[in-house]
């Protein structure tokens, strides 16, 4: 299957729907690890494939460096999902997701912050890079 902007948009919509379902059930105020476990269950229920706590490879001067960088969720081998349960998203969090996208060579990322009143309005943000811009519609 060819990856397209439409496919990625639909995938983000589906993952957001799962996150909203978890947030509806639990509300804000819990640890990120609780939301992570529940979101994994919800993605499984919805038939969305993912890897959890994926080790992000770092290549430096042709060598694989073990850095212990971990992507919260790597959905369908094409979407980086980073989870937070914090007061606000800071530039360092955005740098983290953009770096994971670069290192994993994927065009789109999704940051979900469960510590909000409404995930859809204020708790999620998508990120794209130059790979996304070159995809077909």
Q: What are the boundaries of each domain within the chain?
A: 5-133
Q: What would the mean pLDDT of 58-68 be, rounded to a whole number?
A: 91
Question: In angstroms, rounded to a whole number, what is the distance separating the alpha carbons of residues 73 and 50?
Answer: 6
Give the CA angle between residues 83, 48, 99 to the nearest 5°: 40
pLDDT at 1: 59
Q: Tell me, what's the pLDDT at 66?
A: 86
Which percentage of the chain shows pLDDT scores above 70?
A: 99
Burial of 14 per CB tally in 10 Å (0-12, 13-18, 19+): middle
Q: In the predicted model, is pLDDT for residue 10 greater than 90?
A: yes
Of the candidates 60, 54, 61, the residue with the CA atom closest to the CA atom of residue 80 = 54
Residue 108 has a pLDDT of: 97
Pairwise pLDDT comparison (121 vs 103), residue with the higher score: 103
Element counts in the chain: helices (H) and strands (E): 4, 7
CA nearest to 35, candidates 22, 54, 49:
22
**Residue bearing the bigger pLDDT, 1 or 116:** 116
Average model confidence (pLDDT) across the chain: 95
- For the question of whether the overall pTM of this predicted structure is more than 0.85, the answer is yes
DSSP 3-state of 103: helix
């Amino acid at each position: 299957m060819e990856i397209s902007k439409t496919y990625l948009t639909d995938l983000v919509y589906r993952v957001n729907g799962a996150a909203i379902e978890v947030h509806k059930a639990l509300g804000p105020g819990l640890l990120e690890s609780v939301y992570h476990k529940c979101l994994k269950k919800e993605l499984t229920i919805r038939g969305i494939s993912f890897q959890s706590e994926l080790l992000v490879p770092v290549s430096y001067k042709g060598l694989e460096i073990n850095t212990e960088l971990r992507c919260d969720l790597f959905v369908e081998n094409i979407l980086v999902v980073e989870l937070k349960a914090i007061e606000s998203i800071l530039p360092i969090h955005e740098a983290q997701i953009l770096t994971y996208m670069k290192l994993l060579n994927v065009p789109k990322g999704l940051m979900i912050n469960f510590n909000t009143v409404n995930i859809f309005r204020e708790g999620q943000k998508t990120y794209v890079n130059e790979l996304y811009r070159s995809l077909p519609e």
